[in-house]
Chains A and B, each alone.
Chain A
Amino acid sequence: MQQQPRSEVTSLEPEILHLLDVAVEVSGHGVAKAAALGRRMGSVGRPVLQLMLRPPVVSRTHQPGTWLDDLSRQGGLRRAELARRLGSVLDVVVPGLVEQVLRRLDATGLIHTYVDLDEVITEVDIEAVVSRVDLVTLVKEVIDELDLPEMVRESTSAMASESVRGLRMHSISGDDAIGRAIARVRSRRVVDGTLTPPDGSPGPAGTTLP
């Protein structure tokens, strides 16, 4: 039962195509003739139209061509204003509209369904992407976060170097303690009025070179 309509359609197809071809040919012929006629009319009518728009006996301000130019200019201004207003309206409407549409769509699912991500990724120029990344700075930041020198020290340094490190830090602390003690003595003597430092310096704190 379902094969019969399909066979009818198949039998009708050549006739429809024939009629369609005829229509196309007639239309094409007509359009060509109309174009040719238009060109002839244009070549004949252009001087007439020019004469109507710019009559020689009428002053330029009262010529129809001048009126049409003014109308065209005002129309252009009105069109620009309309485009500006329309743009401002679209700026408000389109984002909200798109947001509402996207909210109702499963964009991720659509991409999974209709986009072959593997093919897209294979066409990506990974080297160009990598070349735009400042790898040196990136690696330095990672090393800084990990404190790699500290890890290397902890994993490779011998007990002797750890002892030296401790000795150095303790001696620095001792230096600071001595400096603070000297500063206390000096400030006490200043308060007692027995000694006034010539430069008013607070004490022997570690200083950098000038």
Chain B
Amino acid sequence: MTAGDLSAIPREARPYQGTTAGLLTRLIASAIDAVTVVALLVVIYLGVNGVRFMAHPVAFSFSDLSVILSVIAALALLVVYLTFSWFVTGRTYGDHVMGLRVVRRSGARLRFLAAFVRAVLSAVFPVGLLWCAVSPARRSVQDVVVGTAVLYDWRARPEFPERGPAAEGPPAER
């Protein structure tokens, strides 16, 4: 009996664990991330206005929403959110919901620079995700450029190989 037999992953999902994820799952995860970032933006906007209200309650009015500023803020927040999510845990909230994990091609966790570049590419060129539908290895443009892969991984606490040169070998069997 292997350790995987005792995992909390349902039997029907076990064969998919560790394989690269397809377009639909990744689109849903990206949509969840987009909603998350928008919700964060709204919270930040309300927080900033709340502080302004407490500072000047009489002359308070909601700050104007510049479209360009909002888009830039959304992209900046998206990049920060994606970078730290992929660097720290290998998954964003959308990835967590959909049971995905972003790793290097060696199976190791992303380095900070790789996570940042991938986040920037995902923010400014989201259409690149569609390439994973036609890619034999299910790799998006971001995956090809940065050298990453998106795997099905339903485990709550994924085990990464050690960072560094030793992590360049093949990943542990999943």
Contact A153 B8 (CB under 8 A): yes
The interface centre, meaning the residue of A137, A143, A182, A206 with most chain B CB atoms within 10 A of its CB, is A206
Q: Chain B contact residues (Cβ within 8 angstroms of A): what range? A: 35 or more
Q: Of A93-101, A106-114, A196-204, which stretch is located at the interface? A: A196-204
Contact of A206 among B19, B105, B107 (CB under 8 A): B19
| Cβ distance B158 to chain A, nearest Cβ, rounded Å | 13
Q: For the complex formed, measure the closest distance between the CB of B103 and the CB atoms of chain A, giving whole angstroms.
A: 7
Contacting residues, chain A, for B9 (C-beta < 8 A): 149
The residue on A at minimum CB distance from B104 is: A209
Q: Which residue of A144, A174, A210 contacts B1 across the interface (Cβ within 8 Å)?
A: A144
When distances are taken between beta carbons in the complex, the residues of chain A under 8 Å from B7 are 149
Instruction: Give complex CA distance A172, B17 in Å.
Output: 11
Would A169 and B12 be within 8 Å (CB), given that A143-B6, A175-B25, A178-B23 are in contact? yes
Q: A38-55: which have CB < 8 Å to B?
A: none
Q: Are B24 and A174 in contact (CB under 8 A)?
A: yes
Cβ-defined contact, B136 with A203, below 8 A:
yes
Closest residue of chain A to B151 (Cβ to Cβ) is: A209
Q: What residue of chain A has the Cβ atom nearest to residue B154's Cβ?
A: A168
Interface centre among A137, A171, A207 (most CB of B within 10 A): A171
With A199-B136, A204-B132, A209-B149 as given contacts, are A175 and B18 in contact (CB-CB < 8 Å)?
A: no
Pick from A141, A171, A204: contact of B133, CB below 8 A: A204
A168 and B16 CA atoms in complex are apart in Å by: 11
Q: Chain A residues near B149 (CB, 8 Å)?
A: 209
A-facing mask of B2-43, CB < 8 A → 1, else 0?
000111111111001011111111001000000000000000
A165 CB–B CB distance under 8 Å: yes
Q: Using CB atoms, name the residue of chain A closest to B132.
A: A204
In the bound complex, residues from chain B placing their C-beta under 8 Å from that of A167 are 28, 97-98
Partner of A204, one of B97, B138, B171: B138
B99 at the interface (CB under 8 A from A): yes
- Tell me the bound Cα distance from A178 to B106 in angstroms: 26
Please encode chain A, from 169 to 210, with 1 for each CB lying within 8 Å of some chain B CB and 0 for all others: 101101110110010001000000000000101111111111
Interface residues of A (CB under 8 A from B): 137, 140-141, 143-144, 147-150, 152-153, 164-165, 167-169, 171-172, 174-176, 178-179, 182, 186, 199, 201-210
- With A153-B8, A167-B97, A209-B103 given, name 20 new contacts (CB 8 A): A144-B1, A144-B5, A149-B8, A169-B12, A172-B13, A175-B25, A182-B133, A199-B136, A203-B136, A204-B22, A204-B138, A206-B20, A206-B138, A206-B152, A207-B20, A207-B138, A208-B19, A208-B174, A209-B18, A209-B20
4 closest A-B pairs by beta carbon, nearest first, are: A175-B22, A206-B19, A174-B24, A201-B136
23 A-B residue pairings within 8 Å (CB atoms): A137-B1, A141-B1, A143-B6, A144-B5, A150-B10, A153-B10, A168-B99, A171-B24, A172-B22, A175-B23, A175-B24, A178-B23, A182-B133, A204-B22, A204-B132, A204-B135, A205-B136, A206-B16, A206-B21, A207-B20, A208-B19, A209-B151, A210-B105
